[in-house]
Structure 1
Amino acid sequence: MRISPDSLLRRSATAALTAVLASVFVACGSAGNENGSTETNSAEPQAPTQSSDSVDVDKITDIVTNQLAALDLSAAVFGVWQGDEQLVLGAVGESPIGVPATPNMQLRVGQPMEPMLSTVLLQLGDDGTLSLDEPIARWVPDFPRADQITPRMLANSTSGISDYVTNPDFLKAFYANPIEGFTAQEIFDLANSRPPLFEPGTSFGYSHSDLCLLGVVLERASGEPLGELLKKRVFTPLGMSESNLMLTPQMADPALHGYTNERGVFEDSTFWNPTAFLNSGNMNSTVSDVGRWVRALGTGELLPDSVFQEMMAPETAGLGPLTAERFFAFGTAHLGSWLFMNPSFGGYNGVALYDTESKTTIVIYATLGPTSNADTNNTVPIASAIGALLLPDNPPKLS
């Protein structure tokens, strides 16, 4: 299969986000069984017991199982919560192939890590460690236009820095050896080898480069490694004991194996180096921990009320294709009342959703099969169907 910048763009975190916005604007914890919830964990899942009078959780598992077959996916792990009540936590398919998947498998988190960076940024802004609107020249003086770019712009993808993920030189190096990985400086060199997209703060252009640079700014402003910042300020307060920032291809057992055909052959991509998306998704976790994070994000659990309101505000509306109803800010896409994250990397596809009105959380990660379409995020139709089942009057509009 021919590899092109556009094909990787569609597989990256840029992909589904851009597609969702474009469709409107023309334009990545151990399994629990609490609160009477259901857990399934076989290639042919057992029928779950009812955990809510108003939700038929059997249908949630049926949606995942049927879509797994229709899309030729190898395995999926998933969880659904209403408030803090876990409705279902399950796994279907096989991972590794031939072994039933289980809900407690480690996975590559991807984009849900991005609003974690924004949460830490807002915390540091609130305690006076930095200012969201001070030029980043204080911490990265040699970065081009550092005297014009602010941390807020990095968090909102309004800096204009070119996205290194779409750079043909990145694609060539990545696909030649996806295990090797990248340093921050190598990523910055790739980003700055192409002209800026626009003047800082004047438009919107989702860019992994922004998130990589934001992570470096957070480290230098706080004097702490990013992994320690996330552990201290996010993982530990939320009890996310199965979550870790990764700078190597390592994954703990049991691992949800990534599979992909994007290099022209069906292969195990579990150990592709996550630093290809440094600071924008190089984190391992479980579906339970991701669900815990998404609920905390949606309720502002880690932020003072005034700061949380700032995080949720449509401050980017009017930039590029963004509106007050469909916008991207502080690492999260807002689609009406739904918060949307769409991780996709090296055979892992995922969606994390949170409805701010009903406090419904949906998290699903899946891995590709031999004939899966690697040019799309295959979990989007699954999450959409679950959302429509749970909230037929306010389904997530992801396409």
Structure 2
Amino acid sequence: MNAAAQPSGPSTRRRTIGIVAGLVVVVSTLAWFALRPPSSSAPAPAGTTPAPVRGPQADAVARVVQQAMASDHLKAAIVRVTIGGKVVAMQAFGDSMTGVPATTDMHFRNGAVAFEYVSTLLLEYVDEGKVRLDDTVNTWMPDLPEAKTVTLRMLTNQTTGYPDFETDPGWTAAYNADPFHQFTFEERLKDAFNRPLQFAPGTNWSYSHTNFMILGHILSQIGGAPLDRLLQEKVLGPMGLTQTTAYDTATVPEPALHAYSSERRSALGIPPGMSFTEESTYWNPVWGTPIGAAETTTITDMTTTAVAVGTGKLLSSKSFHAMTDSHLIGFGTRMPACGGSCFPQSDAYNYGLGVVLSGSGQLQNPLLSGYSATEAYLPSQKVAVAVATTFLPGAFDVNGDYDNASDRLFREIATALVPDDAPPFGPPRKN
């Protein structure tokens, strides 16, 4: 949104589920210091968790993560890396809660990773001949603005011009007042369209949760069933995901990775000099994804997702290339109407169909409610990386803003393991 119209509460960037934040490698001025041993060396909680993988590549990953724990003020980090299907690193670092070590079997929010599942479902329907990407949305939602112009493709590649309900000052105030509130589809539509379109459909690019909220609603009509059931039957199950589940509440299955946030600092009137975080594990995340696609997952399912999406496991070759080819590099321009959410697409960050493209890689990198998580696939050497992090108070600035540490950590891990195909680091961007 226009800076002049910024709400008085926390900026919306922190709650943006799938947007790149802080891609530049930050050279820390903090001295390297000894960290507590990885959580796997501590007594395990009830149940079992796999022992950390050993070897030179695992050691290289551990060194990168240990440095990030200090420089990025991380409370916990869970990492899994596969190369050619072989697990070369899998380890948890730090604490979920004070005195409760993080473990590699913990569940956490996956945010915009669900956009990849939703896009896959759409493309399966394209492959089945049920719809075309250039079908307009008036068939299913005729009352939407520009419904005879906006297409399914535009919803999926973020070029509709539809305002993001999450940037509406009224929505932000309601969220800050009650982060446990479950925003309905109707509430989100109202908050999205009480402002004019940001631009004419197809003429610019802007990250908007509104697009995928509408796409999910349309897919449930095409499939004739609730979206969560369609995703489970046609995407999650066939991908081999066993721990990724949709909820219509703020549930996180046990064992849960706990999260902490400072993003309500301004709304609560916390003085800038006071250290502040609050437990955000059970804030309701249903607002950010389509109804039926608010999910939790594990680090193993995240790497499985990276491989399935990155290889087009469930799609025809044509649909796979439509999803993952870089069609938008150079497209887009900054506009006051959409604030930081409009920007030119670049090699470091460009949008496919529900997937972020960076260099040769495909990824999603959600950042919400104190969770940061990234899953990515580098096809040239068949590398899949999954990272989930939570934060200490030092990660948040005086406004409660924080960077996407998992995205930066993925890039640093990839650089250490496959320097010849390392993903690019682009300029930092705020939403």
Q: Paired residue for 1:268, among 279, 295, 298?
A: 279
What residue in structure 1 maps to residue 235 of structure 2? 234
Per the alignment, residue 78 of structure 1 pairs with 79
Quote the Cα distance in structure 2 between the aligned partners of 1:299 and 1:40. 32
User: 2:51 and 2:310 mapped to 1: Cα distance?
Assistant: 30
Distance 2:328 2:216 in 1: 21
Which of 312, 332, 336 is the matching residue for 2:359? Answer: 336
Offset at residue 96 of structure 1 (A): 2.3
- Match of 1:252, as an amino acid? P
* Cα drift, residue 41 of structure 1: 2.5
Matched, 1:370 2:393: yes
1:241-390 aligned within 5 A: 241-264=242-265, 265-279=276-290, 282-320=294-332, 321-322=344-345, 326-373=349-396, 374-390=401-417
How far 1:10 sits from its partner (Å)?
Answer: 4.4
Query: Is the alpha carbon distance of 1:270 and 1:308 closer, same or farther for their aligned partners in structure 2, counting shifts above 3 Å?
Result: same
Question: Which digits, 9 at most, give the CA deviation of each residue in 1:185-210, with x for residues without a partner?
Answer: 11111111111111111221111110
Change in 2 beyond 3 A, CA 1:319/1:124: same
Structure 2 CA distance, aligned partners of 1:260 and 1:337?
A: 33
Per the alignment, residue 419 of structure 2 pairs with 392
* TM-superposed deviation, 1:182: 0.7
Q: CA RMSD in A?
A: 2.5
Q: Is the 8 A contact 1:8 1:375 kept in 2?
A: no
Q: Is the 8 A contact 1:349 1:367 kept in 2?
A: yes
> Structure 1 stretch 316-325 or stretch 273-282: which is displaced more?
316-325
Aligned-pair identity (%)? 32
The answer (yes or no) to whether the contact 1:182–1:275 under 8 Å persists in 2 is yes
- SS of 1:187's partner is helix
What are the equivalent positions in structure 2 for 1:1-399 lying under 5 Å apart? 4=8, 7-13=11-17, 15-16=19-20, 41-42=40-41, 50-51=54-55, 55-264=56-265, 265-279=276-290, 282-320=294-332, 321-322=344-345, 326-373=349-396, 374-399=401-426
Corresponding letter in the other structure for 2:300: S
Please tell me the residue identity of whatever aligns with 1:390: L
CA contact (8 A) 1:114 1:211 kept: yes
Give the paired residue count: 377
Kindly indicate whether the alpha-carbon contact (under 8 Å) linking 2:9 and 2:173 is maintained by their aligned counterparts in 1. Answer: no
String of CA shifts for 1:228-280, please: whole Å, max 9, x gaps.
11101111112211111121101110001111122223111010101120329
* Structure 1 residues 14 and 307: CA distance shift in structure 2, 3 A: closer
For the structure 1 residues 340 and 49, does the alpha-carbon distance in structure 2 shift closer, same or farther, using more than 3 Å as the test?
Answer: closer
Query: In 1, Cα distance between the equivalents of 2:257 and 2:7?
Result: 25
| Ranges in structure 2 where 5+ consecutive residues have no aligned partner | 1-5, 25-37, 45-49, 266-275, 333-343, 427-431
Q: Report how far residue 64 of structure 1 moved.
A: 1.4
- TM-score, normalization: structure 1? 0.88
Q: Can you list the C-alpha shifts for 1:117-159, whole angstroms capped at 9, x where unaligned?
A: 1110000111122222111111112222211111111000011
